Chains A and B, each alone.
Chain A
Amino acid sequence: MTKKIVAGLLLSTALMSTGALAQDVTLTIESWRNDDLSIWQDQIIPAFEAANPGIKVQFTPSAPAEYNAVLNSKLDAGTAGDLITCRPFDASLALYDGGKLADLSDLAAMVNFSDVAKSAWQTDDGAHTFCVPMASVIHGFIYNKNAFAELGIEVPTTEAEFFAALDKIKEDGTYIPMAMGTNDQWEAATMGYNNIGPNYWKGEDGRLALIKGEASLTDEAWVAPYRQLAKWGAYLGDGYEAQTYPDSQNLFTLGRAAIYPAGSWEISGFNAQADFEMGAFNPPVANAGDECYISDHTDIAIGLNAASPNAEAARTFLNWVGSAEFASLYANALPGFFSLNSAPVAMQDPLAQEIVSWRDKCHSTIRSTYQILSRGTPNLETETWNASVNVIKGTETPEAAGARLQEGLASWYEPQK
């Protein structure tokens, strides 16, 4: 009896859904952002469906750690959704090269994005773009406003001011000057080297010169950030050698540390945890009035499954993702994930506003090691983690670190040989 009812129910749902299909096109999105499920279902998709009757959208995320493997097997089996959320650089490039992602170079909305924004989802020569950029994360420093007020410290804009501020905090002793540990290694490279580095290697100019082989990691521009990192060690908390990433986050949000070398993705978490007011400043420049550069790292995009039967509807959706309306929806739902759209986006969160305002006064670049340079063995990204940690701990000199990295890169990367 129950079996019959269940069968009947199943049958009727099946019939109903085929009925719906007959009228509407349903697009399915593959994604690793399962944290964002409710944002997509409650805010983003209803907004799109209201504007585009006849197209239904389903957001079907999988676990971040499994996403690449799950997606690859779905694409091979021909069961993947119509829209594919793209990881930056080589993971997505491999999908495009394998014919799994469609070329979107001619998509109308692509004009809304700068070359830097698109660089993570283009062929090496920049001729073909295969994903619509969604968001980036920006690096800088988040600070405890109460601590700064208490100690009478102004927000530093130059390196001299930055170290003077650190000295003052250290001397006072109430706060740990800077919350960062070297245990997990990536913090030192991502929040350290690639945070302060763009000011030295002049952002995109230096990064592209390195890819073309015109610059070398032993150049002053690439060694100088290590020289600054070497000075950081003295301002990190006791036992920073064994301090992990969550330790650093907790030290800062508990109000025990004054400055946190940050990525903008921290904003929502910090807003929830910290009960003091926070501010942010971009990486200080060498001399007052110097041009500033920030790491504005392209992190997430969305592309079209080349085998999708609903390509027309999917392109409509992608054009909408490239619009100012989507940019505003997404950036406000997820403060810290900044829209890559050229159109200015009004955000409510003050910390996010502060950080995104750097785009107006500074030049944006992406993390130096992500494009092309980490394809070989030894892997430049991993080596950079290791070198940044060594330099902070003083077990390797900045010059030796630069020389070692250059030697490793030159061992497999043709333009650097």
Chain B
Amino acid sequence: MATRSRTHVVVFLAPAVLVYTAVMIWPLFNTLRLALYTAGEEGRVFVGLANFATLFGDPRWSGAFWNALGNNFWFFFIHMLVQNPIGIVLAAILSHPRLRFAALYRSAIFIPTILSFVIVGFAWKLILSPIWGIAPSMLDAVGLKSLFAPWLGREGSALTTLALISVWQFVGIPMMLIYAALLSIPEEILEAGEIDGITGWAAFWRIKLPLILPSIGIISILTFVGNFNAFDLIYAAQGALAGPDFSTDILGTFLYRTFFGFQLQLGDPHMGSAIATAMFAIILAGVCVYLFAIQTRMRRYQF
């Protein structure tokens, strides 16, 4: 028995491993490798960690990097603070057995998720436009015109506005995941709780919420990875320069400008790869924290 050949394992794994290596692992490691080179007089020159020394040591590069990273954290913070709680509340409401038209609400809230970033960015830019937008005229209709400001054009509000647009677009995802988790809670547990006198909101807080915590954890990590890889919405709404004054510049747009170049600036794939490597490290660290520190503890709640 012990000597039985295991070649079939290799054969069955081979296609997936080969395809995954060709399209994911190899490009990933090649990017990491590219970050260790720079363009010299005669082609590519190995420089070790010099690109990283520039990225973190040169005040100009590091200033741009920390600005982008800080903006990224703010972008993530708004999502965690607004998108996920709203998603949970919506899911809780939708899973209420006596709610009518639940399917309609569910689709309506989920639809923006399937829209293209370009459409979302462009549509919101028009809605919020101080010149032709409907936002100023709607506020005017209720006498609150004074509250309107060109939010996307101001340093102080542009990033938050974009984060909220992204929340609007993606709130359907946590809602769907939590909704599925809520539906999977066995009726017996809730009935047992009812016998002990736990109903309504108390049932949600003390029975349902602990049981959906693993889903919330998954959503948090998906939000983290999604936000730190974000690029499209900022690029569609504010362009690669992530204006005003780099206040909406996140790691994705910073990487894009550096790697591909911008206007008269020629692209620098080596510095770009260094930024991509830093992004990879940040996301990897975040995922590790979740996997080892949070998820291992979460299992205790499961039955």
B131 x A247 contact (CB < 8 A): yes
Report chain A residues within 8 Å CB of B268.
377
Given contacts A374-B264, A381-B265, contact A239 B241 (CB under 8 A): no
Partner of A379, one of B130, B150, B239, B264: B264
Report chain A residues within 8 Å CB of B131.
237-239, 243, 247, 251
Report chain B residues within 8 Å CB of A89.
264
A183 x B153 contact (CB < 8 A): yes
Report chain A residues within 8 Å CB of B125.
244
Report chain B residues within 8 Å CB of A60.
none
**B149-207 CB contacts (< 8 Å) to partner A:** 149-155
Given contacts A183-B243, A184-B239, A393-B244, contact A374 B265 (CB under 8 A): yes
A72 at the binding interface (Cβ < 8 Å): no
Given contacts A382-B263, A389-B243, contact A242 B155 (CB under 8 A): no
A408 at the binding interface (Cβ < 8 Å): yes
B151 x A242 contact (CB < 8 A): yes
A386 x B245 contact (CB < 8 A): yes
**B232-284 CB contacts (< 8 Å) to partner A:** 238-239, 241, 243-246, 262-266, 268
| Nearest opposing residue in chain A for B262, CB measure | A382
Report chain A residues within 8 Å CB of B245.
386, 389-390, 395
Grouping DSSP codes into helix (H, G, I), strand (E, B) and loop, the A interface class, with mixed when no group exceeds half, is loop
Tally inter-chain residue pairs, CB-CB below 8 A. Answer: 90
Task: Provide the A360-389 mask, 1 if CB < 8 A to any CB of B, else 0.
Answer: 000000000110001101110110011001
A220 at the binding interface (Cβ < 8 Å): no
B264 x A242 contact (CB < 8 A): no
Task: Provide the B119-145 mask, 1 if CB < 8 A to any CB of A, else 0.
Answer: 000000100111110001000000000
A185 at the binding interface (Cβ < 8 Å): yes
A182 at the binding interface (Cβ < 8 Å): yes
A408 x B154 contact (CB < 8 A): no
A34 at the binding interface (Cβ < 8 Å): no
A399 at the binding interface (Cβ < 8 Å): no
| Nearest opposing residue in chain B for A251, CB measure | B131
Cα-based distance from A186 to B246 in the complex (angstroms): 14
* Shortest Cβ gap from A187 to chain B (Å): 11
A238 x B264 contact (CB < 8 A): no
Given contacts A183-B152, A183-B153, A378-B60, contact A241 B244 (CB under 8 A): yes
Jot down 13 A-B pairs with beta carbons below 8 A, ordered by A.
Answer: A183-B152, A184-B239, A237-B130, A239-B129, A239-B153, A242-B152, A370-B264, A374-B264, A374-B265, A377-B60, A382-B241, A386-B245, A389-B243
Interface size on B, residues (CB 8 A): 28
Given contacts A182-B153, A251-B131, contact A379 B262 (CB under 8 A): yes
| Nearest opposing residue in chain B for A241, CB measure | B153
Supplied contacts A239-B136, A240-B153, A377-B265, 8 more A-B pairs, CB within 8 Å: A185-B243, A239-B129, A242-B129, A243-B153, A381-B264, A382-B265, A386-B243, A389-B245
A271 at the binding interface (Cβ < 8 Å): no
* Shortest Cβ gap from B23 to chain A (Å): 22
Report chain B residues within 8 Å CB of A395.
155, 245
Report chain A residues within 8 Å CB of B149.
239
A159 at the binding interface (Cβ < 8 Å): no
A90 at the binding interface (Cβ < 8 Å): yes
A411 at the binding interface (Cβ < 8 Å): yes
Cα-based distance from A393 to B245 in the complex (angstroms): 10
**A89-114 CB contacts (< 8 Å) to partner B:** 89-90
* Shortest Cβ gap from B137 to chain A (Å): 13
A243 x B264 contact (CB < 8 A): no
Partner of A239, one of B150, B238, B265: B150
Report chain A residues within 8 Å CB of B241.
185, 382, 385-386
Report chain B residues within 8 Å CB of A186.
263
| Nearest opposing residue in chain A for B241, CB measure | A185
In the A-B complex, the 10 residue pairs with the closest CB atoms: A239-B130, A241-B153, A242-B153, A242-B150, A239-B150, A379-B265, A374-B264, A381-B264, A241-B150, A242-B152
Given contacts A243-B131, A386-B241, contact A381 B153 (CB under 8 A): no
